[in-house]
Structures are given as structure tokens and as C-alpha cells.
Amino acid sequence: MKIRELTPENYPKASALLRQAFPGSTKEVQLVENLHKNGKAVHEWVCIHINSVIAYLAFSKAYNGSAVCGLHLGPLAVKPEFQNQGVGSELLRFALRQEIIKESTIFVLGDPHFYEKFGFAPCALPICPFDTNNDHFLSIRNTTTSRFTVGYEPEFNLGTQAGPSGESRPLRKNIQGRKKQR
């Protein structure tokens, strides 16, 4: 298994992996494809095994208003037949050692039991717009003391609908790192 930065020639393989890892959802594939199409700065790595992309991880900018305040981790995906073998954990450990990532506050919306193993801690501030009580919103190197709703790239709003008071909310809550029920 080799870990590499995602290159344009592997975009289709990464998209295919996202379809396999998130069956029944197109949100993750749309998000990544639109970030690429719109030229957004995304830090991405893949695990390659026998010329096949078996895991994918991305980081995109997090905002406080128009100012960048860190990075969002996600999506993190592993090909179903390689899940529960430590592939995603190894990819995440690798990414967290990279200079651009080590220097940033990292936010993730995911399973606390999974991400706490990597040093993520529950985060009360900032507020995550996709997690009502921040129950699944975690961070590393977060020194936020002021109350604000963390911003995401506009591409994260694809597949959203207006909530009862007009706010934008995801069509479905997808908590990364949560084990699939079988």
C-alpha cells in the first residue's frame, strides 16, 4: 500500500471509491468533483494498492466569515473490502503528519470514538451548521474562544434544502467514521 497525493489522473478512481464507500449517496462524489471543477484548494491523499485507489482523504478550508480559520477533514473513505483493516487510520495518521495539516486547526464532523484516537477532541466553539449540538463536531489545535458558525466551501451546500426557519441544512446527516450496520 502506498500513500500519494491525489493527482488529476486519479480523480475518476477517487470518485469511484466514494461511490463504493457511500452507497446510496451521491453527496460525497458531488462535493469532491465540484471542489475540483471549481478549482478550490483541497489537500487530498489516496492509498493505492495494486494500482487501485482503496482509500481517500480530503481537507478543505474552514472559515470564520471570510477569513480562513482552519481546515475541514472529509470525506474520509475506504473501499468496503478494505474497511476495518486500519487503512483509513493509516491514511489519517499520514495526513496529520503533513506540514500543511500540522500547522492548521482541523475540524471534523464524525464519530467521536473514531476520531478521538487521533487526538481530536469535542469542540463547543465554533458552531457546526450541520450538527445541531456539536455532538459529532471535533477538532485539533482549536483555540477558538468567540462564538461563530464555522463556514464551509460553497460546494458543501449542494444537496441541501431549506430548514423550517429558512436555514440551509444537509438532506441527510452523514457522520464520517461511523461503522455501517450490517
Whether residue 39 lies inside any domain: the answer is yes
pLDDT at residue 182 above 80? no
Query: If you write DSSP's letter for every residue of 118-130 in order, what string do you get?
Result: GT-EE--SSB-TT
DSSP state for residue 174 in the 8-state scheme? -
Which residue segment(s) compose the domain that 112 sits in? Answer: 2-165
Each residue's pLDDT tens digit, 12-61: 999 999 999 999 999 999 999 999 999 998 999 999 999 899 999 999 99
Whether residue 177 lies inside any domain: the answer is no
Whether residue 180 lies inside any domain: the answer is no
Whether residue 52 lies inside any domain: the answer is yes
Whether residue 22 lies inside any domain: the answer is yes
| 8 Å CB contact between 117 and 89 | yes
Rounded to two decimals, the pTM is 0.85
Whether residue 170 lies inside any domain: the answer is no
Whether residue 122 lies inside any domain: the answer is yes
pLDDT at residue 92 above 90? yes
Which grid coordinates are listed for 117?
Answer: 484516537
Percentage of the chain lying above the pLDDT 90 cut: 83
C-alpha atoms less than 13 angstroms from C-alpha of 71 in its C-beta half-sphere: 23
Residue 158's pLDDT is 63
| 8 Å CB contact between 25 and 19 | no
| Average pLDDT of span 75-104 | 96
The overall average pLDDT reported for the chain is: 88
Whether residue 179 lies inside any domain: the answer is no
Query: If you write DSSP's letter for every residue of 8-73 in order, what string do you get?
Result: GGGHHHHHHHHHHHSTT--HHHHHHHHHHHTT--EEEEEEEETTEEEEEEEEEEEEETTEEEEEEE
Each residue's pLDDT tens digit, 150-177: 999 999 986 443 333 333 334 334 444 4
The closest of 10, 98, 100 to 55, measured between CA atoms, is: 10
* Number of domains the chain is built from: 1
Q: What's 109's domain CATH number?
A: 3.40.630.30
| Average pLDDT of span 123-149 | 94
